[in-house]
């Protein structure tokens, strides 16, 4: 049985209030905050990027890991803000972690589901016996054009999952994926900011794929929403995950622990992975978690996890080091709009 | 065998837009040779002190460059030790005469800094520090600011006391026709000048300057010759992180101790001293490290005028205006300091003359204290 | 330090230092930065005691209260300076208050 062996999460300390962004563009702050359901979002430091954030998350994931960095035999980093178009983030991370040379490294891109695609691929390698331990990372310093709607939600964070077969804290009971060619959001090579198709990003994109993957997985496993203790969905804003949970038949209580978007916005490839970590931080042994990511372009990766008695040890270590998602959420300092523009390299 | 300085001269220091390094060198050397009563044919070797010509201007091989320019067809080389390049060039010149291989040699310290953008000069000056310091985004003022921070914590040194060094040296500079600055400063002006690296302000820092100085070193005794009683060098770690203490420059202490022993004098015997005030804190450290004041007491003494012309009981420090007031063309400074002491010992320092000057000291530092050169001169 | 070869040679050193903790010994705040560092200024440069050695490094994610003797910090990896448009990105060691 393949599963999560340990995990690490990193949210940069800086935050900007959506109200401050709105005021800069002479929009009504109340209106913006109300329509998106988010108060503030995380902002990377000027000298942070997807590489440094992926590395932080990876380092954290190794503190509770009982093995050594050289045990890692597959290392995938999913992001839509890899600093290089050619030159892998995964090997920079691997080298600095001390992973040695005997591992498969790959960088993935698939908008906000680049990280979860890596999780499924590595799970497959482990199940096939080709690899014993793998590290799947989702990390982003998401970019957005000033004055565009995405400016209110695009955030930064990184999450790393060590996957394996031994001493797992969450079993991967089942998984599936749902893909199509749906151009709801894209960024051309060499172009700085992404573009999107407005309201098209809703029903035919996010909802169609999340519901598509979720339904398929439930059917395959003969399970229903009531069988789960928690659910996690990709969080592009405060409304979509709540909406899709309701549509699929999940309750507010099942969803609430995962809603990191409310506090830090949408860190793209790290979004659903962070939601999962947030649930793991508070779950008890023997609980089931239903998780579906979404990446524009488009696709959704769906997972069913079941926690084990190995979980509390890891959570305790994270708590002692102030690395729980809730602890990182409250460790914050605000920047104003000019500071935000500087730190995201727009001025 | 004694080593003598038979000739010494300096150009004006400042932002000398229209003057080239060749012209600076030519002026300094020809004046020094004339001062020594000799000419270029008698010169058996040339030692050039310079730091930035290669990094900023792409010109290395300065021994050959200036030998040709000055018409001195003799063994020539550049000596580099960051801001101690001038002092080190003199040290090597002294050794070359002591060895018996040469009788009479010339030392030239020269630097042209204003041809380049200040940011490029600042980056080039960090060549004096360590790779780790450069990667941290440190600047030269930043390194001395770290020392100032440590000194202020350990001894309660205040920003006013730092400023007093700049005020004193500008006063001295106002009496020096060759100095870069002739404006007097107030404590308030220094403390309110723009922030460079906390706690150092703009006016705590020596300027970017052009200039050249030259000295003729010889084994031949003459009535006007000043004796080089000691020429000592010490080396400490390149970067601040590996220093044993952040409240002193151990290299200065060591070079000073060796020099006093060889010259057979003590700090109280020094009548005039040119010390390395690249930043105000550096002069305070030098006063303590050279044994002029006990640890933690120099700042107050300087502020009280104990080392200033007109108010000092004995020792005048940086009568030329120091690096702060006279200017700091990096490779030239170490040589200029000795030129000033020669003038003081000869009684030719005019309005900035220290009384009864019989023994003088020059102190030249490279980087944040990795190299220290101390010369003691006697009449 | 934008030579790919130098950066490559320096990787082991960075990997070795990552995550180590120490305390601040002395500091300054750089207000007038050198070339390549202007996007980060003003920033502190600190000397850190690491029990067996000391390092000089830039302090990140900081506020004025962190600049005290004995403040605990840990070593992290960040971009050292602004990369050029086409050049290699220099990652290196900085320190951050714990």
**Whether C45 and B146 lie within 8 Å, measured CB to CB:** yes
Is pLDDT of B100 > 80?
Answer: yes
Closest CA to A167 of A75, A65, A76, A73: A65
Per residue in C38-50, pLDDT tens? 999 999 999 999 9
Sign of CA dihedral A264, A267, A271, A277: negative
Number of domains in chain B: 1
Q: Chain C: nearest CA to B155, how far in angstroms?
A: 14
B354 burial level (CB within 10 Å; 0-12, 13-18, 19+) = buried
Minimum Cα–Cα distance from C89: chain A residue: A83
**pLDDT 10s per residue in chain A (347 long)?**
999 999 999 999 999 999 999 999 999 999 999 998 899 999 999 999 999 999 999 999 999 999 999 999 999 999 999 999 999 999 999 999 999 999 999 999 999 999 999 999 999 999 999 999 999 999 999 999 999 999 999 999 999 999 999 999 999 999 999 999 999 999 999 999 999 998 999 999 999 999 999 999 999 999 999 999 999 999 999 999 999 999 999 999 999 999 999 999 999 999 999 999 999 999 999 999 999 999 999 999 999 999 999 999 999 999 999 999 999 999 999 999 999 999 999 99
Question: Which of the residues in chain C have pLDDT under 50?
Answer: none
If you count residue pairs, one on B and one on C, with CB atoms under 8 Å apart, how many are there? Answer: 97
Helix residue ranges per DSSP H, A284-324? 311-320
Residue A234 known to be catalytic? yes
Phi, psi of B27 (to 5 degrees): -65, -50
Q: What is the pLDDT of residues B50-87, one digit of tens each?
A: 999 999 999 999 999 999 999 999 999 999 999 999 99
Mutate: best of C61, C90, C97, partner A, most A CBs <10 A: C61
Alpha-carbon torsion A268, A270, A272, A278, what sign? negative
The reported pLDDT for the residue numbered B222 is 84
What pLDDT shows up at residue C12? 86
Q: Which residue of chain B has the CA closest to C94?
A: B136
Chain C residue with the nearest C-alpha to that of B122: C34
Nearest chain A residue to C7 by CA: give it: A92
Q: List the Cα angle A133/A137/A141 in 5-degree steps.
A: 165
What whole-number distance in Å separates Cα of residue B17 and Cα of residue B8? 24
Q: Is C56 on the interface with B (CB under 8 A)?
A: yes
The pTM (predicted TM-score) of the whole model is 0.94
Contact C15 A95 (CB under 8 A): yes
Query: Is residue B47 assigned to a domain?
Result: yes
Residue of A nearest to C10 (CA): A96
Nearest CB among C63, C77, C80 relative to A96 is that of C77
Q: How far is CA B91 from the centre of its chain?
A: 13
Using alpha carbons only, how large is chain B's radius of gyration in Å? 19
In angstroms, the CA A29 to CA A42 distance is: 18
> Which residues does chain B have within 8 Å of residue C26's beta carbon, measured at their own beta carbons?
146-147, 149-150, 153, 246
Instruction: With CB atoms and an 8 Å threshold, state whether C28 touches B149.
Output: yes
Nearest-angstrom CA–CA distance, B58 and A104: 46
CB burial readout C84-97, b (16+ within 10 A) else e: eeeebbbbbbbbbb
pLDDT over 90 (residue B314): no
What are the extents of the domains in chain A? Answer: 3-169+311-343, 171-307
Residues A48, A80, A287, A306: which is the catalytic one? Answer: A80
A290-324 in b/e burial notation, b at 16+ Cβ within 10 A? bbbbbbbbbbbbbbbbbbbebbeebbeebeeeebb
Closest CA to B135 of C6, A235, A289: C6
**Domain locations along chain C:** 4-97
Give residue B299's Cα distance to chain centre.
20
Q: To 10 degrees, the CA torsion angle through C6, C9, C11, C12?
A: -150
CATH 3.40.50.1820 fits A171-307, yes or no: no
> pLDDT tens digit string along B206-259?
999 999 999 999 999 988 889 999 999 999 999 999 999 999 999 999 999 999
Q: Are A317 and A232 in contact (CB under 8 A)?
A: no
Fold of the domain built from segment(s) A3-169+311-343: Peroxisomal Thiolase; Chain A, domain 1 (3.40.47)
Q: In B, which residues are within 8 Å of C25 by CB distance?
A: 150, 246
Residue B90 within a domain: yes
Nearest by CB to A45, which of C14, C15, C60? C60
Range of the domain at B94: 4-117+208-218
The pLDDT, as a whole number, for residue B223 is 80
Q: Write out the catalytic residue numbers of B.
A: 83, 328
Mean per-residue pLDDT over chain B, rounded? 97
CB contact under 8 A, C78 and A48: yes
Residue B162 lies in a domain: no
Q: How far apart are CA B371 and CA A301, in angstroms?
A: 62
Radius of gyration of chain A (CA): 18
Contacts of A11 (CB under 8 A, 6+ apart): A42, A156, A157, A264, A267, A274, A325, A328, A329
CATH class of residue range C4-97: mainly beta
Query: CATH number for the domain including B40?
Result: 3.40.47.10
Question: Which pLDDT score is estimated for B224?
Answer: 81
With beta carbons under 8 A apart, name residues in chain C contacting A47.
40, 60, 78-80, 94
Q: Which residues contact B70 (CB under 8 A, 6 or more apart)?
A: B25, B26, B29, B40, B46, B106, B108
Looking at chain A, list the stretches that DSSP marks H as alpha helix, in order from N- to C-terminal side: 18-24, 29-36, 50-63, 89-97, 114-127, 208-221, 239-248, 252-256, 261-264, 271-280, 311-320, 325-330, 337-343
CB contact under 8 A, C28 and B133: no
How far from A304 is each of A120, A223, A307, CA to CA, in Å?
12, 10, 10
Domain presence at residue B350 = no
Taking the C-alpha atoms of residue B232 and residue B87, their distance in angstroms, rounded to an integer, is 9
Residue in B131, B134, B137 closest to C40 by CB: B137
Q: Which residues, 6+ apart, have CB-to-CB distance to B176 below 8 Å?
A: B319, B320, B321, B325, B326, B352
């Amino acid at each position: 049985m393949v599963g999560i062996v340990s995990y690490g999460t990193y949210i940069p300390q800086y935050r900007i209030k959506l109200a401050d962004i709105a005021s800069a563009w002479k929009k009504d702050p109340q209106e913006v905050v109300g329509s998106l359901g988010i108060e503030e979002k995380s902002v990377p430091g000027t000298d942070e990027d997807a590489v440094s954030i992926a590395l932080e998350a990876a380092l954290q994931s190794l503190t509770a890991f009982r093995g050594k960095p050289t045990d890692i035999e597959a290392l995938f980093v999913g992001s839509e803000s890899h600093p290089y178009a050619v030159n892998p983030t995964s090997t920079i991370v691997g080298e600095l972690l001390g992973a040695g040379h005997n591992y498969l490294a790959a960088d993935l891109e698939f908008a906000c589901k680049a990280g979860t695609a890596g999780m499924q691929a590595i799970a497959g390698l482990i199940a096939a016996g080709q690899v014993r331990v793998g590290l799947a990372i989702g990390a982003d310093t998401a970019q957005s054009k000033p004055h565009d709607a995405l400016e209110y939600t695009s955030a930064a964070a990184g999450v790393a999952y060590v996957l394996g077969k031994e001493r797992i804290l969450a079993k991967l009971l089942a998984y599936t994926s749902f893909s199509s060619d749906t151009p709801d959001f894209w960024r051309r090579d060499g172009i700085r900011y992404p573009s999107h198709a407005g309201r098209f990003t809703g029903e035919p994109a996010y909802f169609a794929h999340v519901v598509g993957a979720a339904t398929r997985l439930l059917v395959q496993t003969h399970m229903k929403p009531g069988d789960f203790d928690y659910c996690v969905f990709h969080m592009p804003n405060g409304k979509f995950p709540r909406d899709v949970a309701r549509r699929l038949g999940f309750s507010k209580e099942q969803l609430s622990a995962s809603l990191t978007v409310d506090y830090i916005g949408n860190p793209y490839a790290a979004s659903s992975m962070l939601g999962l970590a947030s649930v793991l931080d508070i779950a008890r042994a023997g609980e089931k978690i239903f998780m579906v990511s979404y990446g524009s372009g488009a696709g959704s990766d769906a997972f069913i996890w079941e926690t084990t008695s190995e979980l509390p040890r890891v959570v305790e270590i994270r708590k002692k080091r102030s690395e729980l998602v809730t602890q990182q959420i409250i460790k914050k300092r605000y920047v104003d709009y000019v500071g935000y523009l500087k730190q995201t390299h727009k001025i | 065998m004694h080593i003598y300085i038979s000739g010494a001269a300096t150009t004006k220091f400042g932002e000398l837009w229209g003057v080239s390094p060749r012209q600076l060198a030519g002026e300094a050397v020809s004046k020094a040779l004339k001062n020594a009563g000799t000419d270029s044919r008698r010169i058996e070797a040339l030692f050039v002190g310079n730091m930035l010509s290669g990094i900023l201007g792409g010109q290395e091989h300065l021994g050959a460059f200036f030998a040709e320019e000055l018409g001195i067809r003799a063994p020539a080389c550049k000596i580099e030790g960051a801001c101690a390049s001038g002092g080190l060039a003199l040290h090597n010149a002294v050794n070359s005469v002591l060895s018996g291989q040469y009788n009479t040699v010339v030392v030239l310290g020269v630097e042209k800094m204003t041809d380049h953008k200040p940011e490029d000069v600042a980056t080039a000056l960090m060549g004096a520090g360590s790779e780790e310091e450069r990667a941290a985004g440190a600047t030269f003022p930043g390194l001395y600011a770290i020392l100032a921070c440590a000194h202020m914590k350990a001894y309660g040194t205040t920003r006013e006391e730092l400023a007093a060094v700049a005020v004193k040296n500008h006063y001295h500079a106002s009496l020096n026709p060759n100095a870069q600055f002739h404006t007097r400063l107030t404590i308030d002006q220094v403390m309110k000048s723009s922030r460079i690296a906390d706690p150092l302000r703009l006016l705590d820092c020596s300027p970017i300057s052009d200039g050249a100085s030259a000295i003729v070193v010889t084994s031949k005794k003459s009535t006007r010759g000043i004796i080089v009683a000691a020429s000592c060098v010490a080396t400490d770690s390149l970067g601040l992180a590996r220093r044993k203490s952040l409240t002193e420059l151990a290299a200065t202490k060591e070079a000073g101790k060796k020099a006093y022993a060889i010259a057979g004098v003590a700090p109280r015997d020094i009548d005039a001293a040119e010390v390395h005030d690249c930043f105000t804190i550096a002069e305070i450290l030098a006063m303590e490290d050279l044994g002029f004041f006990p640890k933690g007491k120099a700042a107050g003494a300087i502020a009280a005028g104990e080392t200033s012309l007109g108010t000092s009981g004995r020792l005048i420090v940086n009568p030329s205006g120091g690096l702060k007031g006279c200017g700091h063309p990096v490779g030239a400074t170490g040589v200029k300091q000795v030129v000033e002491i020669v003038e003081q010992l000869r009684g030719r320092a005019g309005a900035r003359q220290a009384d009864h000057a019989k023994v003088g000291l020059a102190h030249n530092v490279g980087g944040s204290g990795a190299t220290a050169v101390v010369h003691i001169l006697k009449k | 330090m934008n030579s790919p070869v130098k950066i490559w040679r320096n990787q082991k050193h960075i990997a070795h230092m990552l995550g180590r903790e120490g305390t601040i010994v002395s500091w300054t705040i750089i207000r007038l930065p050198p070339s390549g560092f202007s996007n980060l200024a003003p920033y502190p440069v600190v000397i850190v005691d690491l029990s067996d050695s000391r390092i000089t490094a830039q302090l990140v994610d900081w506020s004025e209260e962190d600049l005290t003797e004995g403040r605990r910090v840990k070593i992290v990896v960040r971009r050292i300076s602004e990369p050029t448009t086409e050049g290699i990105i220099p990652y290196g060691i900085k320190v951050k208050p714990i």
